[in-house]
Amino acid sequence: MTNMQHMMKQVKKMQEQMLKAQEELGTKVIEGSAGGGVVNVKVNGHKQVLSIVIKPEVVDPEDIEMLQDLVITAVNDALAKAEELANEDMGKYTGGMKIPGLF
């Protein structure tokens, strides 16, 4: 019986550590960019876009599609980095297992 209690305590401790790590991800800011830095996007570890900065020199009314592509590329870059960070941070507690809905 003590082994089961010990295991349950360990599981509870791991859950608490994972929740704390997940909360901390929300405070981390990750930056993605495109076009050599003419478009910059900041997201948090929960993959929420915090800001998009577009340098004026890239704004060309004759070529809106290029600007749209740069924004998409910068957002995807930031989100990919946020995903990588989440996997690294949470992987410490899950041993690399993918737990659906966790992150």
Asked if 29 and 43 count as a contact pair (C-beta separation under 8 A), the reply is yes
Asked if 53 and 37 count as a contact pair (C-beta separation under 8 A), the reply is no
| pLDDT in the model for residue 88 | 86
Tens of pLDDT along 10-64? 888 888 888 888 888 889 999 999 999 999 999 999 999 999 999 999 999 999 9
| pLDDT in the model for residue 95 | 65
CA dihedral 79, 85, 91, 93 (to 10 degrees): -120
pTM of the entire structure? 0.74
- Spatial separation of the C-alpha atoms in residues 67 and 7, rounded to whole Å: 54
| pLDDT in the model for residue 14 | 84
Q: H or E stretch including 70?
A: helix 64-94
